[in-house]
Amino acid sequence: MVKAKDFTNYTKDNINFDIVEDIHEYMLHDSEFFRKNFFPMAKKISDANFNMEEAAMKEMVMPVIEQGINNYFKKFKIPAKSYRLVDQSDRNRLMSKVLQGLKQHPVKNAQ
């Protein structure tokens, strides 16, 4: 049985791993999420050769990040609200990790 305190005591301060890094790895290595969500966004950004304004890239990346966070919390049955563990600065850090990874390894010649 889950108690109410289990939901309120689950915070960034009492988990023993970097949740941003874990979500990033999930987004890259969960085959279903990658195929349906991550890859189409990565392909669009790579096709544009990163020649788009930062706001346009953020507009493409942030919905994928939000979906990744939601899927991660569902898949791993994390008993907390995502905003308690992943704040806006974490989301921005995750976006930076995604964009940096795409710059280092752009998607090329994919159909």
The pLDDT of residue 79: 82
Domain for residue 96, yes or no?
yes
Q: Please state the domain count of the chain.
A: 1
Phi and psi based region of residue 106 (left: phi greater than 0; alpha: psi -120 to 50; beta: remaining): beta
Domain for residue 61, yes or no?
yes
Domain for residue 110, yes or no?
no
Q: Are 10 and 79 in contact (CB under 8 A)?
A: yes
The pLDDT of residue 11: 66
**CA 104, chain centre distance (Å):** 18
Q: Are 111 and 38 in contact (CB under 8 A)?
A: no
Domain for residue 66, yes or no?
yes
Copy the structure tokens of residue 53.
Answer: 């304004």
Domain for residue 72, yes or no?
yes
Domain for residue 91, yes or no?
yes
The pLDDT of residue 69: 96
Domain for residue 1, yes or no?
no
Copy the structure tokens of residue 95.
Answer: 């976006």
| Domain coverage including residue 39 | 14-104
- Give the 3-state secondary structure of residue 48: coil
**2 pLDDT exceeds 70?**
no
Domain for residue 82, yes or no?
yes
CA distance 46 to 67: 20
Return the percentage of the chain with pLDDT > 70, whole number.
Answer: 86
15-42 average pLDDT score: 94
pLDDT band at 46 (very low <50, low <70, confident <90, very high): confident
